[in-house]
Structure 1
Amino acid sequence: MFLHGGPGTAQIFFSRKPQRKLEDHFIVVNWDQRGAGKSYSESIKESDMTINTFLHDSQELIEYLINRFNKKKIFLVGHSWGSILGIKLAAARPDLIFAYIGIGQIVNMQKGETISYNYTLGQAIKFENYKAIRELKRIGLPPYSDLNSAGIQRKWLSKFNGTMRNGNIFRTIFMNMSLSDVSISYLIKFIKGIMFSLKNLENEQMSVNIMQKVRKLDVPVYFCEGKYDYTVPFELVEEYIEILEAPQKKIIWFENSGHLPNFEEPEKFNNFCISLL
């Protein structure tokens, strides 16, 4: 079961192709979370957009899947924002989970955002991109007062290959899009869901510090990390794994990836998941 990133970046319509090999070995579940993609609705209350609500949603879905497919447990994958939910679920309900796989694992949001900003500014200075330097110095260090400022930092981070090693997320979505899963109405909901989710979850997400809150897991944990990931800086995962107690723990490095190794190096990611069986 995949917990997508964002918040709000539903991935059903661009996951089928890169995950096809997994379907030969697993029942693969992608879920558009509350307020995202197919699950977006203008009737959703902003007050329900909290991490605790999403944890309840996720647990309920896992229990449903176990019952529907007559399984004992699942393998749980959390990417970026979804890795907050994933690791918290692994800590709270190890009885439901064979193993947890974190992709672009969030550890300490505020520290990570500061590292990401400093990396981006450093790259702008290195390449003498004066427009980038000017814009980045104007917004200053995080936390940001608005989503537009955060967007400026992410724009230049992508430009300097700190999001993906090659290409960008829009090209990745386009290349992997399945026409059977997409429509104009879905794309509209997809965009609305991203804006709605970020607006209502970004502040709480910024307060997350897994380093303090989750120091012990009773399930094996594997972190799939891109060597070029400065969206959620990989070095914090290196710090975290040193203090984390777990029956098995390991970082799987993706040498040619940024923040989306499961899309940038899908063959390696799929083979790793299959190896867990």
Structure 2
Amino acid sequence: MPLPRSLTKVGLLLGAVAIVVAAGTGGARALVVQAHDADAYAIRAPNGVDEAEFVSINGLDQWITIRGQDRRKPVVLILHGGPGQAQSHLIQRMAPMETDFVVVQWDQRGAGRTLAHAGGLVDPALDLKTMVSDGLAVTEYLRRHLHRDRIVLLGFSWGSRLGVEMAEARPSDYAAFVGTGQAAATQAVSDAWVYEHLLERATAAGDAKGLADLREAGPPPWKPEAGQKAYRASAPYRGPEVSLAEGTKAAFTAPNWTVSDVQALARGRSAYKATQLERDLAAFNPDTFGGSLAVPVIVIDGADDLTTPAPLAAAWARRIKAPKTAFAVIADAGHQALVTHNAAFSEALKEKLSALGIRTN
């Protein structure tokens, strides 16, 4: 279930207010905390890797972090959601995964530190083809820099759309494609499933208020007011998410992040509003998406994901043609299972890679 536009605007407004307050009255304090956290987050294991820098990708400096307790572990390139929702600042949330993998975070063109470094500008001509080209160039950089033949490609939400396109374009670079918050259906199909699911959950729970909101909203498609009622009714049944307050604090205290970086982060998807990419995303066709992939496919979804429901993602995984496929559900998790349940997600990924006999070097 997408966040209603009015609520999205409120979230962005609150984010802007938080940024102004932090910069105006607590900026010095944030810098002190940032210095402390930089030391706390540093990886000092003998075989560890802890890198963070801008790398020239197709002519644009883009922010890439590489972290892991053992550089010999499998490399996982994470494609964040949105587009525009960079997550390289969520270091503490992603720490469990760094034990078993070398975790690469990439602030994509138009997102996070990459957007701020570019002066907050996004070319209106930016399209899906350019994003795929960037992703392939990041992959090539990682393979060369970390001396790997293949890496694991992990796409979250919008990143799962991007990841499938990348895996289709150059399958030899990837040991596996892993989707979470997997794009698998049109918004209309997803909303219809969510509405029926919420009616069932609210009925079983005796949730009179939720049922009233759902009946007032009616079945999708929803106008803004009806969408807000449906979203409100979904609250008890959605998995946990990273709050605005936590995300803002994490950005302010993350090593290297500045006020302008946090401001760029707050723009989120709005930075892409006038781009060709928005039009490309609107043309999504689930019937042909990922129809034939030459790499193993693993989908790991939150059981309570009401944005990209797990049953629809499971159906997509069964439908596609790939050498090997696997599906796992993280209990009590929602759309952001990768972040909110990172330890469980990491265990599930290890298990599925092993079960499918997938080896990386």
TM-score bin (small chain): 0.7 to 0.9
Find the counterpart in structure 2 of residue 256 from structure 1: 332
Aligned with 1:2 (options 73, 78, 91): 78
Aligned with 2:309 (options 233, 241, 244): 233
1:173 maps to a residue whose letter is G
| 2:183 counterpart of 1:106 | yes
Give the TM-score taking structure 2 as reference length: 0.65
Structure 1 Cα separation of the partners of residues 99 and 214 of structure 2: 48
Q: Report the alpha carbon displacement of residue 263 of structure 1 after superposing the two structures with TM.
A: 1.9
Normalized per residue, the structure richer in strand is 2
Alpha carbons 2:217, 2:226 under 8 Å: kept: no
Provide, for residues 90-126 of structure 1, a one-character-per-residue CA deviation record: whole Å limited to 9, x for no partner. Answer: 2221111011110010012232244345556777895
Q: Could you say what secondary structure the match of 2:93 adopts?
A: coil
Structure 2 Cα separation of the partners of residues 72 and 109 of structure 1: 35
Cα 1:227–1:77 shift into 2, 3 Å: same
Q: Report the alpha carbon displacement of residue 129 of structure 1 after superposing the two structures with TM.
A: 4.6
Structure 2 Cα separation of the partners of residues 197 and 21 of structure 1: 32
Aligned with 2:123 (options 33, 38, 45): 45
Structure 2 Cα separation of the partners of residues 193 and 174 of structure 1: 12
Structure 2 Cα separation of the partners of residues 203 and 154 of structure 1: 26
Find the counterpart in structure 1 of residue 154 from structure 2: 77
Provide, for residues 41-66 of structure 1, a one-character-per-residue CA deviation record: whole Å limited to 9, x for no partner. Answer: 44321121x22211111111111111
Structure with greater contact order relative to length (CA < 8 Å, sep ≥ 6) = 1
Q: Report the alpha carbon displacement of residue 27 of structure 1 after superposing the two structures with TM.
A: 2.7
| 2:108 counterpart of 1:33 | yes
Alpha carbons 2:132, 2:162 under 8 Å: kept: yes
Cα 1:167–1:62 shift into 2, 3 Å: closer
Provide, for residues 66-101 of structure 1, a one-character-per-residue CA deviation record: whole Å limited to 9, x for no partner. Answer: 112221111110000000011121222111101111
Q: Report the alpha carbon displacement of residue 22 of structure 1 after superposing the two structures with TM.
A: 3.0
Cα 1:178–1:150 shift into 2, 3 Å: farther
Q: Report the alpha carbon displacement of residue 10 of structure 1 after superposing the two structures with TM.
A: 0.7
Aligned with 1:180 (options 246, 254, 260): 254
1:272 maps to a residue whose letter is A
Q: Report the alpha carbon displacement of residue 127 of structure 1 after superposing the two structures with TM.
A: 3.4
User: What percent of counterpart residues are identical?
Assistant: 26
Structure 2 Cα separation of the partners of residues 154 and 58 of structure 1: 36
Alpha carbons 1:19, 1:270 under 8 Å: kept: no
Alpha carbons 2:242, 2:340 under 8 Å: kept: no
Q: Report the alpha carbon displacement of residue 20 of structure 1 after superposing the two structures with TM.
A: 2.0
Find the counterpart in structure 1 of residue 289 from structure 2: 213
Structure 1 Cα separation of the partners of residues 227 and 251 of structure 2: 24
Cα 1:219–1:150 shift into 2, 3 Å: farther
2:96 maps to a residue whose letter is K
Q: Report the alpha carbon displacement of residue 206 of structure 1 after superposing the two structures with TM.
A: 3.3
Provide, for residues 152-181 of structure 1, a one-character-per-residue CA deviation record: whole Å limited to 9, x for no partner. Answer: 47853762433xx24654366368657134
Structure 2 Cα separation of the partners of residues 26 and 261 of structure 1: 17
Cα 1:197–1:250 shift into 2, 3 Å: same
Q: Could you say what secondary structure the match of 1:212 adopts?
A: coil
Alpha carbons 1:94, 1:218 under 8 Å: kept: yes
Where do 1:91-170 residues align within 5 Å? 91-110=168-187, 111-116=189-194, 119=197, 127-129=208-210, 132-133=213-214, 136=217, 141=221, 152=228, 155-156=231-232, 159-162=235-238, 165-166=239-240, 169-170=243-244
Structure 1 Cα separation of the partners of residues 228 and 79 of structure 2: 26
Cα 1:149–1:185 shift into 2, 3 Å: farther
What is the number of equivalent residue pairs in this alignment? 268
Give the TM-score taking structure 1 as reference length: 0.82
Find the counterpart in structure 2 of residue 197 from structure 1: 272
Aligned with 2:136 (options 46, 56, 59): 59
Structure 2 Cα separation of the partners of residues 100 and 174 of structure 1: 30
Question: Which runs of 5 or more structure 2 residues have no equivalent in the other structure?
Answer: 1-76, 354-358
2:125 maps to a residue whose letter is S
